[in-house]
Structures are given as C-alpha cells and as structure tokens.
Chains A and B, each alone.
Chain A
Amino acid sequence: MIKTQNLWKIYEIGNEKVQVQALRGVDLEVEKGEYLAIMGPSGSGKSTLMNLIGCLDTPTQGEYYLNSRLVSQMNDDELAFIRNKEIGFVFQTFNLLPRATALHNVELPLIYNGTESKERIQKAKKALEMVDLTDRITHKPNELSGGERQRVAIARAIVNNPSLILADEPTGNLDTATGAEIMKLVDRLHSEGNTIILITHEADIAAHAHRAIHLRDGKIEQDEKVK
C-alpha cells in the first residue's frame, strides 16, 4: 500500500547554505492492515517521514507510491485531495479547532470533500460514538480533558474512512493511564482493519504495533517484527 524508494528530505535553513539532511534514502513498504511503529531518537527524522507519508510535504528526492499512485510529484491541491481521502492524522498536540465544537471538528474532513450537511453530521456522530464521546459532541476543546481531545482527534481521523491512519506521538501529551486508553482505542481501530502507522519514543507504546522500524540520522537502522 505504501512504497517509498530512496526518499530524501533536505531542509535549507535561512539564506546561508546550511542544509539539514532529515531523511537520507528511506526505502519502506507497508502493506494494507499493518500496524507499524516508527521509532528513533529525537531529530532522527520520524516526523519528517510521517509528513511525507501523510502527503503534507513532498520529498527532495525519491519516489513515494500510495495505493500505487505516485504521490511524490503531485501539486499542493492534489496532495490536499489525497490527504482528505486517504489519510487520517492524529497529532501529539491534538490540533483541534479551538473555537469549534467536537462535532464540528470531526465534520471538518467531510466539509472539504463536499459531503452534504445531513450525512456529514450523521457520519461525525457515528465517529464520535466509536470513540465513546456521544455525550460530549457540543463541547469545545477547552471544555474537554486531554484524553477526550485526543479521542475527538481520532474520531476526526477515522470519519472519512481513510486507508491509512498516521499518529505522531499520540500519547506524548497524556498521562500514562489516559495514554493507555488511547492506545486501546488505536488497537481497536487496527483490529477493525485499519492500517496504522504510529510514531513514538517509548518502547511500551511501540509494543502495541506488530512491526517497528528504527530511524537514526534519517536512515532506517532496523526493521523488526514485534510480538
């Protein structure tokens, strides 16, 4: 489902010719239904890789196929279309619209693919039901706990039935107990057939996945089965 070939990402900082090689030739294949953890020390390029996989960014060099489509050469609007249709993001910092209700936050991806309002509300409510937040749909993010916010974010990630869910340190801002709950939810999403890529520092979070890759200095250092 995902196939990258010799993926490079080089950042140029300022007008001095300082270059940061965040990714240096990553080859990665992920099958449908996999549960993958991306691990590695800070600055190793995990988020950079996720941004590329999530079509938020394009590689400096190399090719990226998502569902057999060559993504690495698409323009901004084509990428936006792919993000909307194929990808569900879960971020460490939740990234919810602060002034919108939980329901509206979950509706957001459906707004941008032109789903009609009735159907949209119905789907959003169903997604919130999946994460057990039926009684919080009219709450704004600042009226929700951290765990609840992350569940809203997960509902938003799944509402459009994406082929891939990307979670960048989804438990990073949560206490251990709440983190565990969120991971339970992620496990459940996987068991329901979703493809999941999870970025984390922590080995016990990574242990939820079935496969783990380790990045170091922008390269895959290790690719192992977890059990």
Chain B
Amino acid sequence: MQFLESIGVALKSLIANKLRSILTLIGVIIGVMTVIAVVSIIAGMNKYVADQISSLGSTTFFVDAGWRTIMSEEDYLKVLKRKEFTLQDMEAVKKGCPLCWKVGAEMVAYRKVKYREKYLSDVEIDGSTANITEISDINLSSGRYPSEFENLHNRRVALIGWEVADNLFPGQDPLEKDIKIGNYYFRVVGVAEKRGTFLGISQDNFVMIPITTFNKLFGTKRFLAIFVKVESFGSMQEAQDQVRLVLRARRHVPYDKPDDFAIMTSDTFMELYRNFTSTAFIVMIGVSSIALVVGGIVIMNIMLVSVTERTREIGIRKAVGAKKKNILWQFLVEAVTVALVGGLIGVILGSIIAKIVAATTPLPAAIEAWSVITGLIIATSVGLFFGIFPAVKAAKLDPIACLRYE
C-alpha cells in the first residue's frame, strides 16, 4: 500500500511538472537509450556475423597475403608490399601438407557482366578450383558446378550468383545461356542459392569460373587465396602449422621474422569482429555511464527538493506513526519510480533507434529481452543509488522540527 502510494505520488508529480520531469529524466533516458540501442545493434550483428562466419566451417581455413585482415592504413601498406600467392603455392601446399584433405584456390577480379542488352558492372568474378565448392559451401539452386575437367581445360563456363541471375535473366532460365564477362563469353552452367547480404554487401553478386580460365583471360597477378579443408577439427592446428612451414620456406621468410601472409579460420574473423564490437561497447559504456551519473545527480537533486518541499508532510506522517524505514521507503520508491520512468522511455527510444538504424543502414538489430531488463535494472540502480541520500535525510528528520516547518 505504502508502495503504491509512493509510486502514485512520484507519477503524479512527474505528470504535473512535465518540463521539469523531462529535464529530470533526460540523463537516465539518454543513458538507458544508448545501452539499448547499442546492445540491440551489436546483438543483431552478432547473430548475423556468427552465422556468416560459421558458414566457413570449423574444418576450413584459408591463406592470403593479408588482405582480409587489414585493420589500418599501416596494415594496408605492409600487405601492398607482399608477394601474391600463385597456383604453384597451392600445389606446394598440397604436397607439403599431408593433413590437408582438400586444397583449393580462388582469385578475384571485378568485371562487367552482360547478357544481351542487360548488364551489371563490377560483378565479383571468382576464379576457383573445382573443389572450392566442397571446401566453402555454395549451394546450387539449379544446374551444376564447374567440373574438374572444365578446370583442367580452362573452359568458359560459369556458375552465377542469385542476384546476377535475377538481374540478367528476369523470368528466364539462365542455364545454357551465354553471358559476357569483360570481353569474353561464358556459358552459364549453374545458379547459386540466394545468400543474402553481409554488412550491406550482397553475397549474391558474383560469377564463379574455373581458375585456369581466369588466369588465362584476366591475368595471374590477382589476389589469390589458398583454401584448405581438413578431415576433422582435431587436425586444424597441425595442418595450419604444416602449411605455414611450406609457405615460409617458399617465400624465404627468415626464421626470426613473422609470417608475410595470413592464415584465417572462422575464429580469426570472430576475433576481428570482437575487437570491433568491444570498441563499440566501450564507447557505449562511456556515453551511457556519463549520462547515467548526470541523470542520477539530477534525480538526487530533485529528490532533495522534494524532501524539503514536503518537510511538513514528513512531520505529519511521523506524528501519526510512520517509522524511519517507512519514510525512507517512501522516498526511495519515489526516486526509483522516477528513474524507472526514465528507463522505460529510454528503452522505448533505444528500441526505436535500433529499428531505425536497422531499417536505414545495412546494420541489423535485435532487441533482446535481456538488454531491456538490463536497461531497467540500470535505471532502478541509478534511482536507488542516488535516491538513498535524500531518503535517508528525510527519514532522519525530527518530527517536531518538520511540523514547525513553514
């Protein structure tokens, strides 16, 4: 009863003084809003990235000169100076790594792709060994993969991504049609299943052709990545060590120098991604804790004013039998109610922001129950922490002094 009464008093005075309430609550609102928005966006990304990265599989790794792990301009300049991998390197890995079950390679270029008068510019052209489809999963929606035979004889066949098919062949079957990649015609033999977008980049805007054909038509000086699949997760580490040994020898890396290439597993990407999100988390914690402390101090101030304004009320309550703890609870509940209202508004605004971000940018968002609960717990704690001092002050007041108070 006392609880309900105190909550009522808090809500009534919040409604009665709207402007003051907004000013009172703004700190808590911003604090909780930041938490909810950032946590929702990061949670959304986590889900998405984990999905994407795990599609690489736990028994697969790949090696490149370092392009995929560039985090700074410095990295970039370093990688730029490195020697690119070649198909000979891939062959060497095949020989020198008995634990490598399947070894493939992929090169990448960007070209215009055309069918009759329809075309897409800057399509990712992947020159791949035939076994790449067994190493990293690309599922077919129709047709077949380019074969080993076609690879050996650098045939001009292509597996096209869903988006390419959709754009060049609306309402048509692309199979056995001839598309033009750069200046060369290729026959479409397969269409891949839709894969969606990753951080705003379409995963379906690609054409896969045999790597030998790629070498012949688009040159050999392209980023080449060597893909390796091992038979079981247990041999991942050892296989990587074997590959490292082979490649360091071929690239003449002195024993006391680090690798001049990068070996990547799904864990590597997870790691990179975590580094990125932990930065976001730190920024969030900074912004929200400043806002929450400011918000808490404002609440404390408002509660002190409220205690003074209601000195007589405190006297009356004490005269009719309120104990210290009754008064303490009354003002604590009030402070927590105020903070919780701020927290609720923060949760709502934070969710709206997360939704807007998800709708207008490539970033996904997932509003999770635990983040909402965390937001409300944070608000409650702010209310309790900053409400305790005014409440104790109120509880300690002398009843006679209060009754005399003008």
Flag whether A113 is at the interface (Cβ < 8 A): yes
For residue B317, CB closer than 8 A to chain A, the reply is: yes
Answer yes or no: A57 CB below 8 A from chain B CBs. Answer: yes
Taking the complex as formed, is B318 at the interface, i.e. its CB lies under 8 A from any CB of chain A? yes
A77 touches B403 (CB 8 A): no
Q: Quick one: which of B313, B321, B400 contacts A85, CB cutoff 8 A? A: B321
CB-CB nearest in chain B for A105: B316
Q: Once the chains bind, are A80 and B313 in contact (CB under 8 Å)? A: no
Instruction: Tell me, rounded to whole Å, the shortest Cβ–Cβ distance linking B334 to chain A.
Output: 13
* B282 in the interface (beta carbon within 8 A): no
Q: Which residues of B contact A96 (CB under 8 A)?
A: 316
In the bound complex, residues from chain B placing their C-beta under 8 Å from that of A56 are 318-319, 399-400, 403
A89 CB contact (under 8 Å) in B1, B2, B320: B320
| Residues of B contacting A99 in the complex (Cβ-Cβ under 8 angstroms) | 9, 12
Residue of A whose beta carbon sits closest to that of B325: A77
- The reply to whether A81 and B323 contact each other, CB–CB distance below 8 Å, is yes
Are A83 and B321 touching (Cβ within 8 A)? Answer: yes
What bracket does the count of chain B residues touching chain A fall in? 20 to 34
Instruction: State in angstroms the CA–CA spacing of A80 and B321 once bound together.
Output: 5
Minimum CB distance partner of B399 in chain A: A56
A76: Cβ under 8 A from any B Cβ: yes
Q: CA A98 – CA B312 in complex, angstroms?
A: 10
The interface bits of chain A over 53-88 (1 if a CB of B lies within 8 angstroms of the residue's CB, else 0) are 010110000000000000000001100110111000
Which A residues touch B187, using CB under 8 A? none
CB–CB A95/B317 < 8 A: no
When distances are taken between beta carbons in the complex, the residues of chain B under 8 Å from A226 are none
Contact A97 B321 (CB under 8 A): no
Question: Is residue B315 within 8 Å, beta carbon to beta carbon, of the partner chain?
Answer: yes
B284-328 CB contacts (< 8 Å) to partner A: 312-313, 315-326
* Interface pair B321/A84, CB less than 8 Å apart: yes
Task: List residues of chain B with CB within 8 A of the CB of A117.
Answer: 1
B residues less than 8 Å from A85 (CB atoms) = 321
A121 vs B307: C-alpha distance when bound (angstroms)? 28
- B1-32 interface with A by 8 A CB criterion: 1-2, 5, 9, 12
A68 → B minimal CB distance (Å): 20
A80/B322 contact (C-beta < 8 A), A95-B315, A111-B2 known: yes
A57 to B319, CA, bound (A): 10
B residues less than 8 Å from A173 (CB atoms): none
| Shortest CB distance A126–B (Å) | 17
Are B403 and A112 interface neighbours, CB within 8 A?
no
Q: Which residue of A lies closest to B317 (CB)?
A: A108
Nearest-CB distance from B17 to chain A (Å)? Answer: 13
Contact of B320 among A57, A98, A108 (CB under 8 A): A108
Number of interface residues of A (CB under 8 A): 25
A109 and B319 alpha carbons, distance in the complex (Å)? 9
Contacts A83-B321, A97-B313 given; indicate if A112 touches B400 (C-beta within 8 A): no
Of all chain B residues, which has the CB nearest A91? Answer: B403
- Give the distance to chain A from B161, nearest Cβ to Cβ, in Å: 68
**Is the beta-carbon distance between A77 and B323 smaller than 8 angstroms?**
yes
Cβ of A156 within 8 Å of any chain B Cβ, yes or no, is: yes
Most B-side CB within 10 Å, residue of A89, A96, A111, A113: A111
Q: How far is the CB of A78 from chain B (nearest CB, A)?
A: 9
CB atoms of B321 and A95 under 8 A apart: no
Does A178 interact with chain B (Cβ within 8 Å)? no
User: Given A97-B316, A112-B326: A81 and B400 within 8 A (CB)?
Assistant: no
Among residues of A, the one whose C-beta sits closest to the C-beta of B12 is: A99
Interface-central residue, A54, A77, A80, A89, by most chain B CB under 10 Å: A80
CA distance A80 to B328 in the complex (A): 14
Please give, as numbers and ranges, the residues of chain B lying within 8 Å of A77 by CB-CB distance: 323-325
Given contacts A80-B318, A80-B322, A51 and B400 within 8 Å (CB-CB): yes
A111 to B403, CA, bound (A): 20
Across the interface, B323 reaches (CB within 8 A) one of A51, A57, A80, A109, namely: A80
B319: A residues at CB distance < 8 A: 54, 56, 83, 89, 95
Q: Which 7 A-B pairs have the closest CB atoms?
A: A84-B321, A112-B321, A109-B320, A80-B323, A77-B323, A95-B316, A56-B399
Since A77-B324, A112-B323 are in contact, a sample of 13 more A-B pairs with Cβ atoms closer than 8 Å, ordered by chain A residue number, is: A56-B403, A57-B400, A76-B323, A80-B318, A81-B321, A85-B321, A95-B316, A95-B403, A109-B321, A112-B317, A112-B322, A113-B321, A117-B1
